[in-house]
Amino acid sequence: MNSPKDILRQYWGYGEFRPLQEDIIQSVLDGHDTLALLPTGGGKSICFQVPAMCMDGICIVVSPLIALMHDQVQRLREKNIPAIAITSTMSKRETDIAFDNCVYGKIKFLYLSPERLQSELARVRISKMNVSFIAVDEAHCISQWGYDFRPPYTQIAEIRELHPKVPVLALTATATKQVADDICSKLEFKNEKRFTQSFARHNIAYVVRKTEDKNSQLFRLAERVQAPGIVYVRNRRKTQEIALLLQSSGIPATFYHAGLTAQDRRKRQEEWLSNRCRVMVATNAFGMGIDKPDVRFVVHMDLPDSPEAYFQEAGRAGRDGAESGAILFWNEADINQLEVNLRQSFPELKDIRRCWQAVSNYFQIPVGSGEGVTRIFDLKKISTTYNLDPVLLFHSMKIIEREGYVALADAINQPSRVHVRVSNQELYNYEVKNQADETLLKAMLRMYGGLFESYVRISEADLARKSGKSPDVVAADLKRFDQLGLISYEPRTDQPLMTLLQPRPDAYSLYISPANLAERRKAAETRVEAMKNFVRDETQCRQITLLKFFGETEMKECGKCDVCKKKAGDAKKKEKLNLEEEILAVLRNEQKTVNELVAMFPLELNADVNTALRKLLDREVVGFDKLRKLRIL
């Protein structure tokens, strides 16, 4: 077994681990169930990727974010580390082949969504794998006390029965003590170890500013800080509006949200990552898994719904350890909007059932069937078709998801994939008989390796250039080859998805637990109150307020936030006022020249003493006698 440091240096090019990483890795290597609480930017992925490369077998990584899974798989493959992701965007055949490669091939990392983990196919294949350990990313999702609870996470522990001796590593950047305890309980930890890095980010200055003119404040900040930044807003429309306003002031800015095409999202992200564009205005769809170390400021133009969301988004500033700022603009209208959002997040049961009926009608899935079926979930189209408020539909589906009926996935880019279903000889025989197709098929085989073993990502545009055909003709030919049984062709997808996790229930038999709903509402109310307290409390250090929420007890003031700066300013002002009193006390006892008076105070206070004296002279509280000595008038 290679040492963790050797692996880190060989594949990631780092000479040393960040704080706690090495301890967490060693705990996994020693076979302990391990909980790792590391703040955003703390390097969680290294904590499971390095030990997996040290050990024999495959590491199963459970993650709720399809886009993040694809991103990590791509990065591992770039390092020549065999990795694969199995998600709801894949066909049954594609999933089957991927699992086979994990059982019989040399795959080191299998990324799975928790929904895929529930299937019988997954359980059967995982039982046959040589599993090194199981990593559960975003582990706060397992707890109903967590801010992003997902019911499929609660069933992760069931796969432990398949490999009872295999340790589990749970990782999260946002967990209160209650959530941390719940994670360990739900994952059935034994012989556990917990590693918690303080959530304090000593290089980030948290600034909260109450203002009715947020845009002007943002412009001044973006002009003053000539460095990369992120501006978070609540809705898609505002991303474009604010980006255009920044551009009109000469600030290089662009916008990002889940409603853009995959090509546009990639282009804008790349422009920002390469610093061709300095400011990214985005919804919270942006930033997860993006490792840009030199973000100097993160601005929130709207109040986040929870301290966890705020902390995670603000934490994208200053990952390189350099001084950075997290600035939140707010006014009383934001507080009202936060309360409106809270009410809208918990629709009445009759409205939830009405929305479910509309979705069921739209997809035409019969009652009692459809388990495992994935469909493109076009919220706008469904809302328009059935005359539903999109906000009501969104929140109703979120509640239905939390009850475990469906899994919703944001719009992600899933490139086209091809797998050759016949043997090399059979494909050659087809080419001989169908010479019109020979050019495209040969181009495909030359450009992409591994087509006979598994599904491989392909580009219709690249194939078009090689074969001399248009991309549309290439796509049509690939569909035809699929129908002939030569290949399996999965065209590119770029849409939000809904997967049924159980047979479709009738709207009126849809069960929403009143107790669960009440608990979640109470937890949401607690978070909203915490956010209101965070912005309104001007007496406690901002960082301490956040750390208290996460259950930390050993804290000291950051000295950088707006509250600490104000306290320091007030203390200095008070110190200066005290100097006036001290000057008067001296002069009551004895008259002094200016030099004699100044010499009585510490050297570092000379300037302040002179300022205080000028103020006393200006107010004619003191004056000079004939010998140019100071006296009280």
DSSP letter (8 states) at residue 12? I
| CA pair distance 86, 89, nearest whole angstrom | 8
Nearest to 40 by CA among 555, 413, 550: 550
Query: What sign does the CA torsion over 354, 359, 365, 371 have?
Result: negative
CB 67 within 8 A of CB 288: yes
Which candidate, 540, 498, 582, 490, places its Cα nearest to that of 92? 490
* Per-residue pLDDT, 413: 67
Are the C-beta atoms of residues 527 and 341 closer than 8 Å to each other? no
The answer to whether the Cα torsion of 391, 394, 395, 397 is positive or negative is positive
Measured CA to CA, the distance from residue 156 to residue 440 in angstroms comes to 44
pLDDT recorded at residue 396:
95
Contact 416, 262 (CB under 8 A): no
Residue 550 Cα to chain centre, angstroms = 18
Q: Do 261 and 303 touch, CB atoms closer than 8 A?
A: no
Residues contacting 192, CB < 8 A, separation 6+: 32, 33, 34, 35, 184
Six-digit token pair at 321?
């350890």
pLDDT tens for residues 175-234? 888 889 999 999 999 989 999 888 888 899 999 999 999 999 999 999 999 999 999 999
CA 152 to chain centre: 19
Residues 6+ apart with CB under 8 A from 308: 140, 146, 147, 148, 174, 527
Task: Compute CA distances 277 → 92, 320, 323, 369, whole Å.
Answer: 41, 19, 21, 48
CB 375 within 8 A of CB 514: no
Q: Please give the full DSSP string across 58-108, using - where no structure is assigned.
A: EEEEE-S-HHHHHHHHHHHHHTT--EEEE-TTS-HHHHHHHHHHHHHS---
Read off the amino acid at residue 262. Answer: A
Q: Is 377 exposed, middle or buried (CB count within 10 Å of its CB: 0-12, 13-18, 19+)?
A: buried
Secondary structure element (H or E) that encloses residue 132, with its range? strand 131-136
What are the backbone angles phi and psi of residue 102, rounded to the nearest 5°?
-70, -35
Q: Packing angle between helix 435-447 and helix 460-467, nearest 10 degrees?
A: 120
Beta-sheet pairing, 374-376 with 497-500: antiparallel
Residue 584: HSE in the Cβ half-sphere, 13 Å Cα cutoff: 15
CA gap 292, 270 in Å, rounded: 11
pLDDT of the residue at 1: 61
| DSSP assignment of 406-457 | EEEE----B--EEEE-S-HHHHHHHHHH-HHHHHHHHHHHHH-S-TTTS-EE
Contact between 417 and 458 (Cβ < 8 Å): yes
Segments of the chain with pLDDT less than 70: 1, 146-147, 289, 411-413, 573-577, 604
Instruction: Tell me the C-alpha to C-alpha distance, in Å, between residue 78 and each of 81, 105, 154, 163, 384.
Output: 7, 18, 33, 30, 43
Rg (alpha carbons) of the chain, rounded to whole number: 30
What's the pLDDT at 576?
63
Sign of the alpha-carbon torsion through 147, 150, 151, 153: negative
Query: DSSP per residue over 279-306, as a string?
Result: EEEE-TTS-TT---TT--EEEESS--SS
Q: What is the structure's pLDDT at 426?
A: 92
